[in-house]
Chain A
Amino acid sequence: MVLHTPGSTPLPHFGRRTMLRVMLAGAGVAATSGLLSACGGGASSGGDSKVVTFGNNLSDQVPKDAITAAVKAFEAQSGGLSVTINTKQHEQYQEQINNYLQGKPDDVLAWFAGYRMRFFADKGLTSDLSDLWGKVGGNYSDALKQASTGTDGKQYFVPFTQYAWGMFYRKSLWQERGYAVPKTLDELVALSTKMKADGLIPIAFAQKQGWPAMGTFDQLNFRVNGYQFHVDLLAGKEDWQDKRVKDVFDTWKRLLPFHQENALGREWQEAAQTLQQKKSGMYLLGAFVGQQFPDADKDDLDFFPFPEINPEHGTDTVEAPIDGYMMAKKPSNSDGGLKLLEYLSSAEPQLAYLKADPTAVATNQKADQASYSPLQKKVADTIKNAKHITQFLDRDTDPGFASEAATNGLIAFIKDPNSVDSVLKGMADQAKNIFK
């Protein structure tokens, strides 16, 4: 038995040999690591005109494989170019975009159209693509060109795919229960009341990730106040304490009792699964909600545009975010990057990608819709017939305002719907600080 004297710590015995081995192993790995990174660095160092680097934010297995396949197809027909893909987790990619663009960005990199693209174009962090647009402009509608244009009138963005937001539901459930698509807010409330009586959660809802409720705000705002007020508000040209904004939240308050409870602790995927399991009746979300549906149930998914609230505006606006690509300010391979962008604007890679992710649609207007599912056709039609197209709150406003003031403001409102006034005051104050 060991008697402990004060100050003596029971120390483990660790032989000299073992210690030496640990140290040596460490040193050995350290040495090889140097060698390995040396090799890696040599192979893909800049200035090589045969290599294009590609920043990818589609980190999930299925879309990642799809975009990889599309890029590989480019390699095959590009005459000797090879593309190095750098994939980063979707949300991490967005958080780091600022540092990424200023550090050592990839030649061609994924991003979103609209205000969110302009923000970085204005700061001079991405390349002017006007010349390329001269070549590929015919592929796109005017609305898409506008969404790709910076504040200086030049293009900085090449659209790839697009999806729509709406009220999603399962056709079989609605048929079974005899529900009809509501055309007005009152009809929506009546339908929700009925669903509640039938033991369903009328509207699935989740806000743990902080952004899904922005979609609800967008729909309500442009239905109540129209497209122009919506974009002006988000551009900092209108006051968040305006009576019209208050109206939006009052309308929301009327609908909140029909929303799924405990939204703040739920991720949208979990809410989508309740729709899939027929526990909830409808879900206001982007078409990507279909990704939570097993293949067998995908055909059962349908959607309708958010109902009319103000007859003056009807349902003239559709929220249809555009995903696409930009080019770094100083790409290491400018020619190769432009070639890749030109390829990505064509129908072929877009349709190839959509096979893996059939919830979005191609942006190239010449893309053949024969392979579309009924849902995709409906999305494409809705977008085509829309008078106005918005992106999404966090793509239509200053990124700082979206991630801080808007996210936390909406959370505070959902937490306590009666706190609207103080919430809006907080948002207004912060908006004034940001949009000076």
Chain B
Amino acid sequence: MTATLERPAPARKRTVTPARIALHVFLVLTCLMTLAPLLWAVYASLRTYEDTSVNGYFSIAKSLTFENFAKAWEIGDLPHFYWNTLLITIPALVVTLLLSSMVAFGVSRFSFKFNIALLMLFTAGNLLPQQVIVTPLWRLYRLIVVPEWVSESGSLIDSQLGVILIHIAFQMGFCTFVLSNYMKTIPYELTEAARVDGASVFRQYWQLTLPLCRPVLAALATLEFTWIYNDFLWALVLIQDGDKMPVTSALQNLKGTFFTDNNLIAAGSLLVALPTLVVFFVLQRQFVGGLTLGSTKG
């Protein structure tokens, strides 16, 4: 069977049929159309305000410059906000994966009566619209007392910890779902054998199951990084100190109340998108793996 499958493939590659050419033309055009908005933003970001305000955007650039990027970097204080994002994203990511792998391990390796109920709870929670929980969450955060070295406000309000916590609580749903589906495909004999050998539950989880889940964990990590990085609402609602905002929410700072310079905004937008684009290009396979995992095992 393998042979019959393999043979026509190389042969097909060489023959250039009109259908093939049409396919390539179609795909190239589609790709260009997909990339067009981004390329347009890049083009705008490389032009000066003086140029576009006189000639409009739909014109040949007088000169191209990286000035806008330097300006956005400085005015937007981007290094600072990137750092804020990192402070939120990485801990949220690690803890989410840790906690959801625990739940997934529990429900996929042991049969409890509440297994499915628990999974449903997590999955449903992840699908809720965020706005539904905003107000009570804010109130709840104000009631939770934390030491001042964790949050200057003395509560979870206006603290990065608060944002991290809600990301964990929310994103756990998706990760638990994906991880439990994956763990179910790991042969039961494996943990059973370990159990017979006297391995503790924790050992079965930490040393046996988790290493096998490495590809899924990597995929989920890539995906969750993008999602948490791109979050806009939680920080907007829960953080009051402008200096603590993550970079996605801080982008608004570039959109001045008093002076609008679309070229600058374009440059700023591209800079904000940069980390996710880098992750995308470097870890593309993990990213794709993560997305498709949830689906084919559903």
Contacts and interface: CB of A to CB of B under 8 A. Distances in A.
Query: A contacts B directly in the complex (CB < 8 Å)?
Result: yes
Chain A interface: which size bin? 35 or more
A38 B159 CA distance: 12
A12 B1 CA distance: 25
Interface in A258-286: 267, 269-270, 273, 277
Interface stretch (B26-34, B109-117, B120-128, B234-242): B234-242
Nearest to B159: A37
B259 interface: yes
Nearest to A39: B149
Interface string B281-297: 00001101100110011
Contact of B152 (A9, A23, A104, A270): A104
B148 A41 contact: yes
B86 A29 contact: yes
A180 B250 CA distance: 45
Given A37-B160, A87-B243, A12 B258 contact: no
B148 A45 contact: yes
Given A11-B215, A62-B258, A277-B53, A42 B149 contact: yes
Majority SS at the chain A contact face: helix
B2 interface: yes
Q: Looking at B87, B211, B292, which has the most chain A CB atoms within 10 Å of its CB?
A: B87
A99 interface: yes
Given A19-B217, A29-B90, A273-B53, A59 B256 contact: yes
A14 B258 contact: no
Nearest to A2: B2
A25 B257 CA distance: 39
Interface of B is mostly: helix
Interface in A312-368: none
Given A3-B2, A100-B240, A91 B149 contact: no
B260 A41 contact: no
A19 B256 contact: no
A143 interface: no
A269 B243 CA distance: 26
B75 interface: yes
A30 B253 contact: no
Contacts of B13: none
A405 B221 CA distance: 44
A22 interface: yes
The 4 closest A-B pairs by CB, nearest first: A269-B260, A12-B285, A88-B242, A104-B153
Interface of B: 1-2, 5-6, 9, 53, 75, 86-87, 90-91, 93-95, 138, 142, 148-155, 157-158, 160, 185, 211, 214-219, 221, 236-237, 240-243, 250, 252-253, 255-260, 285-286, 288-289, 292-293, 296-297
Given A61-B75, A104-B155, 6 more contacts: A9-B296, A11-B219, A25-B90, A99-B157, A104-B158, A269-B260
Interface of A: 1, 3, 7, 9-14, 16, 18-19, 22-23, 25-27, 29-30, 33, 36-38, 40-42, 44-46, 59-63, 86-92, 96, 99-100, 102-104, 267, 269-270, 273, 277, 288, 291-292
